[in-house]
Amino acid sequence: MEKPIAFIDLGAQRDLIRDRIDAAIARVLDHGAFIMGPEIAEFERQLSAFGGAQHTLSCASGTDALALPLMAWGLRPGEAVFCPSFTFAATAEVVAWLGATPVFVDVDEATFNLDVPSLKAAIEETLAGGKLVPKVVIAVDLFGQAADYPAIRALCDEYGLKLISDAAQGFGSTLHAKMSNVWADVVATSFFPAKPLGCYGDGGAIQTDDGALHAVMDSLRIHGKGEDRYDNVRIGMNARMDTIQAAILIEKLAIFPAEIEARNRVAARYNEALGPVATPQALADGIVSTWAQYTIRVPAARRDALASALKEKGVPTAIYYPKPLHRQTAYKHFPVAGNGLPVSDLLAGEVLSLPMHPYLDETTQDRIVDAVVSSLAGMPA
């Protein structure tokens, strides 16, 4: 039996920067400022420089990073937020938290990202329905690929909507060398350990060029603080990032650009070998993805059999996402664009994600590719 293959090998990255991580954690233990210590401001400064954003606010999770701007804008019941159904639950969850209504939009069959005609239809239908007031669009950078921000921004401007980039998977992805903050009012990301830029626990961040919005989110992050933390001017929450996580992220951010390049080398080899036998997620023109996941489509009748065959051969896979949100118990009563979301339903049956991380060597990658090709060849058409 060959060495088991990791779906995401966080250990390889840890071993590479172990000394620097240990030293960074030790510095926090020494100074003892576990909450809002000096690494927080330093990490926020570095992340602003990385993203070319005016302001960065670190926070406790990617979910909080989505909730804070909605809270700051005063989102409330009777208001609609448009988002894809083919995403992780947090995207829509934060909308429902605030009593507002997520309106589910379909995705593009090739890129898996928000489908612009479906978004336009959803906005028009919501306006025609007269019950909900359109307010915000949340676009998701699925599997690491920036959404079609120029087109989405144009629609937001046409209808007077705010735009959040849910970059939990695609933070660092570029479209014609620009990150999503060029188009979005707010970029929200997650540092959950398995995300392309992850910490060693929960964490998140919000970027914006809107100084007034940043100031309100800064207050909301610490219980709605005013002049100081015992002067509360609004209802907030506890959404701070731990200092230790910021210290770890400073070390991880230093190698992040090289890791994005490495992920793109892995993806390019996968595309070349698997393009002829399966349908990999397509990238739109001008995209550099962060490849949070490398995902192929195979006919639904073969997908689960392929996953089992790969498991037999020691190749782990995952299905993101087996059920779109509009099919889930907690979300199925919310409105959907048009008469349903056929592409989201189709993709849920066909997608399969393969091992992907920056330290996937070519020998292991070839083993994975051979396993996919031989398993598919052995299946009835």
Ligand X SMILES: *Cc1c(COP(=O)(O)O)cnc(C)c1O
Q: Which of 286, 306, 12 is nearest to 295 (CA)?
A: 306
Which residue number is nearest to ligand X in terms of Cβ? 62
Q: Which is nearer to ligand X, 203 or 236 (CB)?
A: 203
CA-CA distances (angstroms) from residue 283 to 77, 171, 173, 321? 36, 16, 11, 19
Phi, psi of 216 (to 5 degrees): -70, -40
Q: According to the binding rule CB under 6 A, does residue 169 interact with ligand X?
A: yes
Q: Which two tokens stand for residue 270?
A: 């996968």
Q: Binder to ligand X among 13, 58, 85, 91 (CB under 6 A)?
A: 91
Which residues, numbered 124-153, are part of the site for ligand X (CB under 6 A)? 140
Q: Does the protein bind ligand X through residue 166 (CB under 6 A)?
A: yes
Helix (H) or strand (E) holding 134: strand 133-140
90 vs 371, beta carbon nearer ligand X: 90
Tokens of 64: 């909080």
Give the 3-state secondary structure percentages of the chain, helix then strand then coil, rounded to 5: 45, 15, 40
Q: Could you give the string, one character per residue 339-358, with x where binding to ligand X holds by CB under 6 A and - elsewhere?
A: --------------------
> Least CB distance from residue 15 to ligand X, whole Å?
24
Please report whether residue 61 would count as binding ligand X according to CB under 6 A. yes
* Interacting positions 206-265 with ligand X (CB under 6 A): none
Residue 32: name the closest of 247, 181, 188, 271 by CA: 247
Fill in the amino acid letter for 10. Answer: L
CA distance to 88, 196, 235, 336, 356, per residue, from 339 (Å) = 22, 35, 38, 7, 35
- To ligand X, the closest distance from the beta carbon of 64 in angstroms equals 7
Nearer Cβ to ligand X (114/315): 114
Q: Return the number of the residue (87 or 181) whose C-beta is nearest ligand X.
A: 87
Helix H or strand E encompassing 121: helix 116-129
**By C-beta, is 62 or 355 nearer to ligand X?**
62
Q: Looking at beta carbons only, is 61 or 375 nearer to ligand X?
A: 61
Least Å from the CB of residue 217 to ligand X: 16
Question: For residue 187, how far is the Cα from the chain centroid?
Answer: 10
Which of 82, 112, 171, 192 touches ligand X (CB under 6 A)? 192
Shortest reach from residue 272's CB to ligand X, in Å: 27
Listing from the earlier edge strand, what are the strands of the sheet with 55-59? 55-59, 204-208, 186-190, 162-166, 133-140, 79-84, 101-105
- 259, 347, 359 from 298: Cα distances, Å: 28, 9, 26
Kindly state whether residue 90 participates in binding ligand X, applying the rule CB under 6 A: yes
| Nearest CB to ligand X, comparing residues 289 and 365 | 289
Among 144, 204, 324, 355, binds ligand X (CB under 6 A): 204
Instruction: Tell me the window of 59-67, 100-108, 322-330, 342-350 that interacts with ligand X (CB under 6 A).
Output: 59-67
Residue whose CB is less far from ligand X, 185 or 202: 202
Does 71 contact ligand X by CB under 6 A? no
Spatial distance between the Cα atoms of 21 and 247, rounded to a whole number of angstroms: 8
Dihedral angle, C-alpha 4, 8, 9, 14, nearest 10 °: -160
Question: Of 23-31, 55-63, 147-155, 214-222, which segment contacts ligand X by CB under 6 A?
Answer: 55-63
Applying CB under 6 A, does 190 fall inside the site for ligand X?
yes
Which tokens is 248 given? 């770890």
Which residues lie near ligand X (CB under 6 A)? 61-63, 87-88, 90-91, 140, 166, 168-169, 190, 192, 202, 204
